[in-house]
Amino acid sequence: MTAPRLASAEARLLTIPLRRPWGADVVDVRVITVDVIDSDGCAGHGFTWTPTIGGRAVLALLHDDILPFALGREIRPSLWQECWERIHEAGGGGVTTIALAGLDLALWDLRARRQSLSLPDLLGRRHDRVPAYGSGVNLHYSDQELVAQVKRWVEAGFTGVKIKVGRPELDDDLRRLAAVREVLGPDRALMIDANQRWNLDTATRAAEAVAEFDVRWLEEPLRADDLAGHVELRRRSPVPIALGENLHTRYRFRDYIDAGAVDVVQPNIVRVGGVTPFLEIASLARSREVELAPHLLPELSAQLAFTLPEAPWVEDVEDAGFGQLGALAEPSGVQIAGGWATGGPRLGLGIRFRSEETA
Look up the CATH number of domain 6-114.
3.30.390.10
**In this predicted model, what pLDDT tens digit does every residue of 319-347 receive, in sequence order?**
888 998 999 999 999 999 999 999 999 99
pLDDT band at 357 (very low <50, low <70, confident <90, very high): very low
pLDDT band at 356 (very low <50, low <70, confident <90, very high): very low
Q: Do domains 6-114 and 121-353 have the same CATH topology?
A: no
Q: How far apart are CA 292 and CA 313, in angstroms?
A: 8
Clarify whether 164 is annotated catalytic. Answer: yes
pLDDT band at 22 (very low <50, low <70, confident <90, very high): confident
Say what the pLDDT of residue 1 is. Answer: 67
Residue type, 178: A
Mean pLDDT of the chain: 96
Going from N- to C-terminal start, the domains of the chain cover 6-114, 121-353
**In this predicted model, what pLDDT tens digit does every residue of 138-176 receive, in sequence order?**
999 999 999 999 999 999 999 999 999 999 999 999 999
- Predicted TM-score of the model (pTM): 0.96
Say what the pLDDT of residue 23 is. Answer: 78
CATH 3.40.190.10 fits 121-353, yes or no: no
Span 27-52, average pLDDT: 96
- SS in 3 state form for 187-239? CCEEEEECCCCCCHHHHHHHHHHHHHHCEEEEECCCCCCCHHHHHHHHHHCCC
Number of Cβ within 10 Å of residue 310's Cβ equals: 15
* Cα dihedral: 67, 326, 343, 50 (round 10): 40
pLDDT band at 26 (very low <50, low <70, confident <90, very high): confident
pLDDT greater than 60 at residue 119: yes
Q: How far apart are CA 200 and CA 202, in angstroms?
A: 6
Catalytic member of 45, 162, 164, 248: 164
- CA nearest to 328, candidates 356, 358, 351: 351
pLDDT band at 358 (very low <50, low <70, confident <90, very high): very low
Catalytic member of 45, 162, 248, 295: 295
